[in-house]
């Protein structure tokens, strides 16, 4: 079984996990637009590729899949998910399975306002959102929302250009500085993260791991502790299966006044997934079972509580003599 991990970046652990699960029965290949992406050096093979916006990018990835006889391919960054989902048929025609949810669903996840509308339609608690300042000001006057609020890009990731605003003046300034913004209700409850797997054969939710976030850094979970809540498991399972997600899903949740609110949904491995893997929630193994034609058993919540994750820094040293450095 051969796996291709796109935009591997700094996600060394994901590469290592797949190598461990595949063992001697295949290879893990990685790609990135920079040869200073440390994760690629943990792979069995590395391809330096152009940025995903390059006209020939998809062709380059398809060529890698053919050359390396790739069985399954997935990306670790949001913008590339839509590309994979949209070109699914071209990959399957050469025997490679894109491990990604359907295109329309991926696009909905990447568009925070569309996700808000979907969650609202499904009756799932979520933070109020406004794409028009006038609608927000109207709701403010009616007492339906109050300051502070979050102002963030409708489409974006890694917490880029997300700001907390506490007045009309700050709202106006941010809307002048940045384009395509929305205003989101400020969630002041406890934040949780869920690592979820939906079987690629059955569509059933087979794994859910929930962590209580203790500390965040650069938009990712820095410290967390494993927890269980059957009510939350049921809500996430119903949501994932009703939407038609497949593969890995990273979900951000807030608990406020005893109610769980879904905040954001990323149909990929989340930055905090190593916590789940260390606790025995083995999504790489589930991926490999699916690619081999098998179905995964439903095994939601099979992990220990009160297991803490604490991230720390590590470095990669490579001799780049004779090579052009591509940052």
Going from the C-alpha of 276 to that of each of 141, 177, 220, 271, 281, the distances in angstroms are 43, 38, 14, 11, 5
Q: Are residues 199 and 164 in the same domain?
A: no
Residue 212 in tokens: 């209580």
Q: Are residues 87 and 136 in the same domain?
A: no
- For residue 243, report the phi and psi dihedrals to the nearest 5 degrees: -80, -30
In the predicted structure, residue 133 carries a pLDDT above the cut 80: yes
Q: Are residues 69 and 132 in the same domain?
A: no
Write the pLDDT tens digit of every residue in 193-236.
999 999 999 999 999 999 999 998 877 889 999 999 999 999 99
CATH number at residue 64: 3.40.50.20
Residue 30 lies in a domain: yes
Q: What is the pTM of this model?
A: 0.94
What's the domain count of the chain?
3
Largest CA distance in the chain: 65
Residue 121 lies in a domain: no
Q: Are residues 192 and 157 in the same domain?
A: no
Number of other CB atoms surrounding residue 90 within 10 Å = 15
Residue 321 lies in a domain: no
Does 241 or 188 have the greater pLDDT score?
241
Can you give the residue range of the structural domain that contains 62?
3-100
Write the pLDDT tens digit of every residue in 18-74.
999 999 999 999 999 999 999 999 999 999 999 999 999 999 999 999 999 999 999
Residue 7: DSSP 8-state: S
CATH number at residue 290: 3.30.470.20
Tell me how far apart the alpha carbons of residues 50 and 60 are, in angstroms, rounded to a whole number. 8
Q: Are residues 146 and 204 in the same domain?
A: no
Residue 105 lies in a domain: no
Tell me how far apart the alpha carbons of residues 29 and 19 are, in angstroms, rounded to a whole number. 10
Residue 72 lies in a domain: yes
Write the pLDDT tens digit of every residue in 157-197.
655 778 999 999 999 999 999 999 999 999 889 999 999 99
Residues 6 or more apart from 293 whose CB is under 8 A from it?
Answer: 201
Residue 318 lies in a domain: no
Q: Are residues 17 and 82 in the same domain?
A: yes
Asked if 219 and 296 touch (Cβ cutoff 8 Å), the reply is: no
């Amino acid at each position: 079984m051969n796996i291709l991990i796109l935009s591997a970046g700094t996600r060394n652990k994901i590469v290592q996990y797949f190598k461990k699960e595949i063992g001697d029965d295949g290879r893990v290949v990685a790609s990135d637009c920079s040869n200073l992406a440390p994760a690629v050096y943990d792979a069995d093979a590395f391809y330096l590729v152009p940025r995903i916006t390059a006209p020939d990018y998809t062709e380059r990835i398809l060529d890698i899949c053919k050359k390396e006889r790739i069985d399954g391919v997935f990306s670790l960054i949001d913008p590339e998910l839509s590309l994979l989902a949209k070109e699914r048929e071209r990959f399957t025609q050469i025997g490679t399975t894109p491990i990604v949810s359907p295109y329309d669903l991926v696009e909905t996840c990447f568009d925070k306002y569309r996700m808000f509308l979907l969650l609202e339609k499904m009756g799932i608690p979520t933070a109020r959102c406004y794409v028009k300042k006038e609608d927000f000001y109207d709701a403010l006057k009616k007492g339906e929302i109050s300051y502070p609020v979050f102002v963030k890009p409708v489409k974006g990731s890694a917490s880029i250009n997300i700001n907390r605003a506490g007045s009309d003046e700050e709202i106006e300034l941010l809307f002048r500085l940045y384009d395509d913004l929305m205003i989101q209700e400020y969630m002041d409850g406890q934040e949780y993260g869920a690592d979820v797997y939906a079987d690629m054969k059955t569509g059933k939710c087979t794994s859910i791991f929930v962590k209580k976030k203790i500390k965040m850094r650069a938009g990712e979970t820095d410290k967390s502790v494993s927890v269980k809540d059957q009510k939350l498991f049921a809500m996430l399972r119903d949501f994932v299966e009703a939407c038609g997600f497949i593969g890995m899903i990273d979900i951000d949740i807030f608990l406020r006044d005893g109610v769980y609110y879904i905040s954001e949904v990323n149909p990929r491995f989340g930055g905090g997934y190593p916590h789940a893997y260390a606790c025995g929630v083995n999504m790489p193994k589930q991926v490999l079972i699916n690619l081999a034609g098998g179905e995964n058993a439903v095994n939601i919540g099979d992990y220990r509580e009160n297991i803490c994750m604490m991230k720390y820094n590590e470095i990669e040293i490579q001799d780049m003599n004779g090579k052009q450095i591509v940052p």
